[in-house]
């Protein structure tokens, strides 16, 4: 009996214990759920209180995880906030950052946010990416930013921040990218910055940093890009820079650095671009420097240029890189080896190429081909611009094909004699030289040099074997060779080039004549934007009113009544070119499949089909009548590389359906006000 009783007791105890365990688990689970619900509601309320989502909440949904720019984890907690180019107004502190403990990604790039960076931003302990560039933020960078120990990328560029960088920035041990360019941050560069040994890109340019470049900069062994352009740095260039053997790009121009160029810079075996211009550097150029793009103009250098630098100039010009040149500059100071009788003041960038022409001809051409383009060679190669070498003629002049003695083929665009006496044509010529001498992009045609003289004006361009997109599309055989993949790639290339001109150059450059005539194709049918004669620099303090320019059929409609040029004029023209690249010349149709070029077989590859849908939808977004409702070229460039369009076949998609596809351009209504 005792044994049976014990077994019964034991069973009861086990049952009670199991029941209690289940009850505890249930209570704990319910409590946990309620905690998650409460936390989620706090995040939702914080979004609403900011006012940023006032007009961005989809109809009939209270779930903030489905709102524009919001991404949540499986628990419903916000991990990503991305409102790019959404015209958000108000203070950055309107969003209570302390309500988002799981936030990893915060991108508020290119809005109208004002006020200072609130100290509460330091509560985002899980943040890995913070982008606040291109806003109107003021004040100093708060010391609390040093609490973001997991931060990998920090962009504060192009605001109105002042004061100094806090020493606490040295706590961001995970940081690989830091940009504070285009602010008014001053004082010495904080020494703690050089504890960030994971840094790969450091951009401090266009601020008011003073003092010397600390020797500790040599600790940043992983650095590939370093720019401290346009500051107030003094002293010598530290020899410890030579420790940065991974460096690809170094720009210390527009400072007050002096003394000599350290020999250790010769350790930069991977360096592709070095700019030390506009300083007070003296002495000679080290013989240990490796061939690279090199700008040492406006210094006090003396002696001869090393032979390897004279014989191996680069094949391309430097990018705009948002730098401001206040005077014409030469890649190497003329004090080194050229007498001032040989200086062409119009030059902005470019190597000086000596010519051996007759005395009545201009003796200099500037460019970046090989340093030895001779005027005589150009004349001989074209038999003094004989018509047999002419490959195209337009209102501006004629284009000639010239094969140089070394076998290199170039294109020469020469103004007609009558045009050299017309101030409008000369101004257009000078404008193209000025723009193309300051840009570098793989999808913008290369300018090797130019000759500017009242009796002879011509450009020396990279030769494009297949001519313009316009002519290729209108030749049946060539159009068939331009398959769907190549057409999509052409549109993407043009998008990338325009994004670069609009968003990576300061002032921004608007082409104003984007058309299939001005898209050139090389032997591999790769696209390059050309003809910058009507390009304009957009100055923020100017009305940017202009005379009408461009090609009929590609001109944005607002230019007919406002005459104010903006980047959105190029966006409209790009949309026309994108549709032209895909469609045939037949009459209007309803379905997408019906407007595609009938000379090609319908695509069957699903990736190509989705690319065609994406390009078509993007093009239609570019053709909206209101300029502000069109996406920017930077957004287009990004979308064409990353978006996944609707999963439908070409025969199932109508033009009207594509025009209503908000899934591609969620910020459409944000820009229409």
Task: Name the E strands within 300-427.
Answer: 300-301, 351-354, 364-367, 390-394, 397-403, 409-415
Rounded Cα–Cα distance for residues 120 and 117 (Å): 8
Closest CA relative to residue 641, chosen from 520, 441, 493: 493
Q: State the SS3 of 312-344.
A: CCCCCCCCCCCCCCCCCCCCCCCCCCCCHHHCC
Helix (H) or strand (E) holding 107: strand 105-107
Q: State the SS3 of 123-174.
A: HCCCCCEEECCCCCCEECCCHHHHHCCCCCEEECCCCEECCCCCHHHHHCCC
Three-class DSSP category at 210: strand
Rounded Cα–Cα distance for residues 592 and 76 (Å): 38
Rounded Cα–Cα distance for residues 557 and 553 (Å): 10
In degrees and rounded to multiples of 5, residue 432 shows phi and psi of -65, -40
Contact 198, 174 (CB under 8 A): yes
| Burial of 538: CB neighbours in 10 Å, binned 0-12, 13-18, 19+ | middle
Q: State the SS3 of 546-559.
A: CCCCCCCCCCCHHH
Contact 426, 457 (CB under 8 A): yes
Contact 316, 292 (CB under 8 A): no
Contact 583, 491 (CB under 8 A): no
Closest CA relative to residue 610, chosen from 484, 516, 525: 484
Other Cβ atoms within 10 Å of 514 Cβ, number = 27
Contact 468, 399 (CB under 8 A): no
Q: Cis before residue 507, ω within 30 degrees of 0?
A: yes
Rounded Cα–Cα distance for residues 597 and 586 (Å): 9
- Rounded to the nearest 5 degrees, what angle is found at the Cα of 235, between the Cα atoms of 232 and 237? 100
Of 513, 531, 570, 597, catalytic: 513
Q: Which residues of 287-324 are buried (b: 16+ CB within 10 A; e: fewer)?
A: eebbebbbbbbbbebeeebbeebeeebbebbbbbbbbe
In the numeric block, the tokens 């591999």 are attached to 524
Closest CA relative to residue 367, chosen from 235, 458, 496: 458
Indicate the pairing of strand 112-114 with strand 105-107.
Answer: unpaired
Is residue 475 annotated as a catalytic residue, yes or no? no
Residues annotated as catalytic are 513
């Amino acid at each position: 009996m005792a044994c049976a009783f014990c077994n019964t007791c034991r069973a009861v105890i086990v049952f009670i214990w199991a029941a209690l365990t289940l009850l505890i688990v249930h209570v704990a689970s319910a409590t946990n759920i309620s905690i998650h619900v409460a936390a989620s509601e706090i995040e939702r309320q914080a979004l609403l209180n900011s006012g940023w989502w006032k007009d961005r909440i989809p109809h009939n949904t209270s779930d903030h995880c489905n709102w524009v720019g919001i991404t949540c984890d499986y628990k419903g907690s916000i991990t990503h906030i991305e409102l790019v180019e959404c015209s958000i107004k108000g203070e950055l502190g309107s969003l209570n950052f302390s309500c988002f403990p799981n936030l990893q990604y915060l991108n508020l790039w290119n809005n109208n946010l004002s006020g200072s960076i609130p100290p509460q931003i330091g509560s985002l302990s899980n943040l890995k990416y913070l982008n606040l560039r291109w806003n109107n933020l003021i004040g100093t960078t708060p010391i609390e930013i040093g609490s973001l120990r997991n931060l990998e990328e920090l962009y504060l560029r192009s605001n109105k921040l002042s004061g100094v960088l806090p020493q606490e920035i040295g706590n961001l041990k995970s940081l690989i990218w830091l940009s504070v360019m285009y602010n008014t941050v001053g004082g010495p560069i904080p020494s703690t910055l050089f504890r960030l040994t994971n840094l790969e890109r450091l951009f401090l340019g266009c601020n008011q940093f003073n003092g010397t470049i600390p020797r500790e900069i040599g600790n940043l062994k992983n650095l590939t890009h370093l720019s401290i352009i346009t500051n107030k740095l003094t002293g010598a260039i530290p020899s410890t820079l030579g420790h940065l053997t991974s460096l690809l790009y170094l720009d210390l121009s527009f400072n007050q650095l002096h003394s000599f160029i350290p020999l250790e810079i010769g350790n930069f075996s991977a360096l592709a671009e070095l700019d030390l211009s506009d300083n007070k550097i003296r002495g000679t150029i080290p013989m240990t420097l490796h061939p690279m793009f090199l700008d040492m103009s406006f210094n006090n250098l003396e002696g001869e240029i090393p032979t390897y630098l004279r014989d191996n100039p680069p094949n391309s010009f430097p990018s705009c890189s948002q730098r401001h040149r206040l005077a014409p500059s030469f890649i190497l100071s003329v004090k080194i080896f050229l007498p001032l009788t040989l200086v062409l003041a119009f030059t902005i960038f470019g190597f000086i190429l000596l010519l051996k022409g007759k005395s009545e001809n201009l003796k200099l051409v500037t460019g970046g081909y090989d340093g030895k383009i001779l005027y005589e060679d150009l004349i001989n190669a074209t038999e003094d611009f004989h018509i047999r070498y002419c490959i195209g003629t337009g209102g501006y002049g004629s284009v000639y094909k010239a094969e140089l003695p070394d076998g290199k083929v170039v294109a020469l665009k020469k103004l007609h004699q009558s045009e050299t006496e017309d101030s409008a044509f000369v101004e257009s010529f000078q404008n193209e030289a000025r723009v193309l001498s300051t840009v570098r992009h793989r999808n913008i045609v290369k300018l090797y040099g130019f000759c500017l003289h009242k009796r002879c004006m011509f450009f020396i361009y990279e030769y494009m074997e297949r001519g313009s997109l316009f002519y290729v599309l209108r030749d049946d055989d060539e159009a068939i060779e331009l398959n769907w993949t190549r057409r999509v790639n052409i549109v993407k290339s043009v998008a990338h080039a325009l994004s670069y001109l609009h968003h990576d150059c300061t002032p921004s450059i608007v082409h104003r004549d984007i058309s299939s005539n001005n898209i050139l194709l090389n032997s591999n049918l790769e696209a390059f934007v050309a003809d910058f004669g009507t390009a304009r620099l957009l100055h923020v303090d100017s009305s940017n009113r202009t005379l009408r320019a461009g090609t009929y059929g590609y001109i944005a409609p607002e230019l007919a009544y406002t005459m104010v040029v903006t980047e959105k004029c190029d966006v409209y023209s790009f949309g026309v070119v994108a549709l032209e690249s895909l469609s045939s010349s037949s009459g209007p149709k309803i379905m997408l499949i019906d407007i595609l070029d009938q000379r090609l077989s319908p695509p069957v590859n699903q990736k190509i089909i989705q690319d065609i849908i994406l390009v078509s939808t993007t093009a239609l977004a570019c053709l909206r009548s209101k300029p502000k409702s069109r996406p920017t070229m930077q957004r287009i460039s990004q979308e064409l590389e990353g978006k996944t369009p609707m999963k439908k076949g070409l025969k199932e998609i109508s033009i009207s359906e594509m025009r209503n596809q908000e899934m591609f351009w969620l910020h459409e209504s944000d820009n229409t006000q």
